Structure 1
Amino acid sequence: FYPLGRIVDTREVAETVAFLASDRASGITGAILPVDAGLTAGCRPFIEDILGGN
């Protein structure tokens, strides 16, 4: 399922949130940043099949 071979650890999500809330990320606006171990990278049709989407 996961291209990285594992699920994302809660610490990784927290570190991403902390970075995005910091001054170092001041140039990032209006972006969606998946933190999902690569699950959505190029796997959209497969995910839609699993979730029953169109």
Structure 2
Amino acid sequence: MEFTQEHEGIRRGVKKFIDAEINPYVDEWEEAGIFPAHELFKKMGDQGYL
């Protein structure tokens, strides 16, 4: 499957979001037994991903 430049831009943006907003906190969330879905979905929506 070939992806367009637009697809690649979306992929890069989502990866950047995950690297900044999810990956640094995974261990903390796991330890606390939480997942801040509401806050993450809000941030994803603000970025245009939802």
Give the alignment's TM-score, normalised by structure 1: 0.30
Q: Which has the higher helix share?
A: 2
Tell me which of the two structures has the higher relative contact order, counting C-alpha pairs closer than 8 angstroms and 6 or more residues apart: 1
Give the alignment's TM-score, normalised by structure 2: 0.30
